[in-house]
């Protein structure tokens, strides 16, 4: 069983490492958008690239590359693999 302490926000995951989605914390509209993008509990996610300004970052999710801003990524809790 995972503890609450083992969950970290997605935006803290280092480039090239992987994690699994443990929880989604955004408001209803943003949560729906993330679910539509395939970001659901248990989904493996890997940060690939960071823009020159650091925001947004590109993530590999279910074979697709998507860009998420930090304010969205911080509301996605993951467990590191």
> What is the model's pLDDT at position 10?
95
pTM of the model: 0.86
- Rounded alpha-carbon distances, angstroms, from residue 71 to 2, 21, 63, 78, 81: 25, 16, 23, 15, 23
Q: For 35-62, write each residue's pLDDT tens digit.
A: 999 999 999 999 999 988 888 999 999 9
> What is the model's pLDDT at position 1?
47
> What is the model's pLDDT at position 54?
80
Name the residue among 37, 3, 36 with its Cα closest to residue 22.
3
Which domains does the chain possess? 4-80 (2.30.30.90)
Residue given tokens 């803290």 in the structure block: 12
- Confidence label for 69 from pLDDT (cuts 50, 70 and 90): very high
Q: For 6-31, write each residue's pLDDT tens digit.
A: 899 999 999 989 999 999 998 899 99
> What is the model's pLDDT at position 81?
76
d(CA 34, CA 18): 18
């Amino acid at each position: 069983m995972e503890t609450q302490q083992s969950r970290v926000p997605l935006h803290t995951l280092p480039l090239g490492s992987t994690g699994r989605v443990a929880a989604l914390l955004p408001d209803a509209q943003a949560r729906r958008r993330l679910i539509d993008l395939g970001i659901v509990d248990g989904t493996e996610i890997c940060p690939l690239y960071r823009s020159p300004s650091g925001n947004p970052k590109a993530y590999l999710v279910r074979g697709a590359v998507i860009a998420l801003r930090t304010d969205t990524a911080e509301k996605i809790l993951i467990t590191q693999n």
